[in-house]
A and B are shown apart, each in its own frame.
Chain A
Amino acid sequence: MTPVLGSVSLSLATGFGILSVILLSLYIRSGDYRLFLAGRRMAIIVSALVIIATLLLVKELITSNFDVDYVAHYTSIETPTIYKFTALWAGQSGSLLFWVFILSIYSLITIFQNRNRYHRMMPWVLCVILTVQLFFLILTNFITNPFEPTNADFVIANGLGLNPLLQNLTMAIHPPVLYLGFVGFTIPFAFTFAALLTNEKGSLWVRSIRRWSLVTWLALSCGIILGGWWAYQELGWGGYWAWDPVENASFMPWLTGTAFLHSIIIQEKKNMLRVWNTILIMLTFALTIFGTFLTRSGVMSSVHSFTESPLGPIFLAFVAIIVTVCAILVFQGLPKMKSDKHIESLTSRESGFLFNNVVFVTMCFAVFWGTIFPVISEAVRGTKITVGPPFFNQVNVPIGLLLLMLTGVGPLLAWRRTSRSNFIKYFSIPVGLALIAAIVFLLFGFRGYVVISLTLSVFVVVAIITEFKRGIQARVNRFGESSFVAFRTMVRKNRSRYGGYFVHLGIVLMFIGFTGQAFNLKKEFGLGINDREHVGDINFELKQLREEERPNHFAWIAELLVTGKDGNSITTLLPEKRIYFHRDPNPDRRQPHSELDIHTTLKGDIYSVFSSIDTDNGIAFFQIMINPLVQFVWYGGYMLVLGTLIALWPSKREKLLT
């Protein structure tokens, strides 16, 4: 009964969605307010039905109703309840339902927040949201229905379940966090779209969507960082970012979204760059759909699997329609959107924002190019060329460093134009200190990108500090406040700006972490008991090899004594080699797993993987990596979250405005 109800809810949602779009379009033509009210009620019902359907699927997953194909595929009786729940987004049809579920919640929030506002824009906003909902509803109704019954010619006693190795909480929660970010860009997109169509001139709606975009951006950033953290802690290849298509799919909208967050400030304050912002948010939205397509259609593994399921072509068609419609609208709206104000000087904060945008978009293009290159080369030339991390690193390092530099340059530039004397006054200290730092780094023997990256980091930090100092000084001079009070009031009065600087500091920390990669060391070797091997100037000695049988697996535990150059003991690492289902008579069902052990310090991580074991000769094989400065990436992540929260923290003043 429940699966039927679920299917029916999805179908009804589709029906109501279509009706709602029709009513809203009629309202836009006739202006009869009753049509709008009815259309809005239907939009609410669509979202409610989607939420009901999702809850029904969750119920089926938790109660293990294996008559539903999806439940039987992704859970089993043994699956712990929490992973029965997270199976909601483990598979294709479930994750598509989950996408539209999040959008439905966002839709309800949007409707509620703006129930008495933007009467001219709202019908269009709702139409856009409904169209996106309908797209995913059609997919979940007709292409991959999560309520599809199990093929009925045999009885399912138990589901296939989830590999226990993949039952990891970080991995289970990182997709929904990412989705919160992905889906959230639909709302700013809908508003921008509506503003374009209704030719809304004011900058009021910009305020509402700026906050919305920031929340979305935070979720997307957290999703990306969590993904990296999980890969680093669990996967055992010693890195956090592999430029995998799935990772790129989330990184591309992040890049354009970040650009949008910057330039929307200029639109709000100066009423400039409107065309540019419109294009940016459209691009971001298209990239989120494209990203969902990349991760869900299987196009990256081969073009052939793309044509096997209708899902890929439908997605691609939807992206194409979005891009075409947006391009036409922007082109038509161009004369109306022209602002009477222009950027007045190349050395102004406004142009700093513009350049930051151009660089972000360039980086996004570079990633896009590398991601789709294999598909294009296969389609055009018949040979598939895979693009590896070296390409992405080589292309993006200079672009990234340019971005880092702009992070420091921006706050030093004045609005409208920077006079020569101010230019010298503000730049001399950060540039001077950065140059001194550069000389020091060179004396330490650092070369190449490492020096540039660290020097720029110093420059940015000093630039941000001087900006804070000037702000505090101004308040002290004018109001006679103490420095601390001045600092607090300054941040409170302009949370988004100073929160933004904290985010920038977080980005600097991350860059320091990325720079550490230049010094990564890696070595694989075998050790007998009391044997020794060194990686760099760190020694590893195998003290002991223990065996342990635990409830669902068997483990060999290596005791590695780690000592420094002078023989001083650093730590003891205990990496494990586990065999899950070790009692299974079929050896192919036994599942080896390397449990890493990482020794973490600010200076760097010692990362140990128990690769393999030779039980006859008592030799254990290890992969050891020394990863300097990795922790800075995570500290940068915390700083980024903190900064964004400062920017988002509601103030009384803000409530008056939104």
Chain B
Amino acid sequence: MFSFSMLVLFCLFSLVFLYSIWPLFKGIIFNPSNSQDTLDALERRKTILYREIQYIDAEYDIGNLNKEDYNLTRTELVQETSDIIAEIKLISSN
């Protein structure tokens, strides 16, 4: 009985082990780390920037940002956003 359950456990272990090393026996897999990540990151950066622009508008209204600093920050943010949009276009067109 004991040896039988040992056998079952051993088989189970082998299956788990096989499962874990399975990817190694496949052909070369495309590494998504570069382009996929970049595009993903840019998209999300864009969303954050949109939000940030809204946010500093609100901050300016509240009075947590001087007029001068507000204009400066807003210009910077808008510039960065347009840069990112351009970059996204460039990558997706390739």
A residues apposed to B, CB below 8 Å: 1, 5, 12, 16, 31-35, 37-38, 41-42, 45, 116-120, 202-204, 207, 269, 349, 414-419, 422, 426, 467, 470-471, 473-475, 477-478, 493-494, 653, 656-657
Contacts and interface: CB of A to CB of B under 8 A. Distances in A.
Nearest to B36: A119
B7 to A, nearest CB: 14
B47 A656 contact: yes
B45 interface: yes
Interface residues of B, number: 41
A415 B16 CA distance: 55
9 contacts: A32-B28, A34-B29, A38-B20, A118-B37, A119-B34, A202-B41, A426-B63, A470-B64, A473-B62
A233 B51 CA distance: 47
Contacts of A32: 28, 31
Nearest to B19: A41
Contacts of A117: 37, 40
A41 B20 contact: yes
A565 B58 CA distance: 55
A422 B66 contact: yes
Given A38-B22, A202-B45, A120 B37 contact: yes
A106 to B, nearest CB: 20
A415 B13 contact: no
Contacts of B36: 116, 119
B52 A269 contact: yes
- The interface centre, meaning the residue of B13, B23, B51, B58 with most chain A CB atoms within 10 A of its CB, is B23
A11 to B, nearest CB: 11
B33 to A, nearest CB: 3
Contacts of A475: 58, 61
Contact of B33 (A35, A38, A119, A657): A119
B91 interface: no
Interface of B: 5, 9, 13, 16, 19-24, 26, 28-34, 36-37, 40-41, 44-45, 47-48, 51-52, 54-56, 58-59, 61-66, 69, 73
Contacts of A42: 20
Given A471-B62, A493-B58, A657 B47 contact: yes
Give 4 nearest A-B pairs by CB, closest first: A119-B33, A474-B61, A37-B23, A33-B31
A415 B65 contact: yes
B64 A415 contact: yes
B62 A470 contact: yes
Contacts of B63: 414, 422, 426, 470, 474
Contacts of A417: 66, 69
A574 to B, nearest CB: 54
A416 B65 contact: yes
Contact of A494 (B20, B29, B55): B55
Nearest to B72: A416
A474 B62 contact: yes
Contacts of B30: 33
A45 B66 contact: no
A35 B64 contact: no
A625 B54 CA distance: 54
B31 A31 contact: yes
A493 B50 CA distance: 13
Contacts of A473: 62
A426 to B, nearest CB: 8
B50 to A, nearest CB: 10
A204 B23 contact: no
B2 to A, nearest CB: 8
Given A37-B29, A204-B41, A471-B62, A415 B69 contact: yes
Given A414-B64, A415-B56, A418-B66, 20 more contacts: A1-B5, A33-B29, A33-B33, A38-B22, A45-B19, A117-B37, A119-B32, A119-B34, A119-B36, A119-B37, A414-B65, A414-B69, A415-B65, A416-B66, A416-B69, A426-B63, A475-B61, A478-B61, A657-B44, A657-B48
Nearest to B51: A653
Nearest to A41: B20
Contact of A416 (B9, B54, B73): B73
Contacts of A45: 16, 19-20
A653 B32 CA distance: 26
A470 B16 CA distance: 60
B24 A38 contact: yes
A651 to B, nearest CB: 11
Contacts of A418: 66
A500 B45 CA distance: 24
A415 B32 contact: no
Contacts of A467: 62
A38 B21 contact: yes
Nearest to B21: A38
Contacts of B65: 414-416
Contact of B58 (A12, A474, A657): A474
B23 A119 contact: no
B66 A16 contact: no
Contacts of A471: 58, 62
A203 B62 CA distance: 26
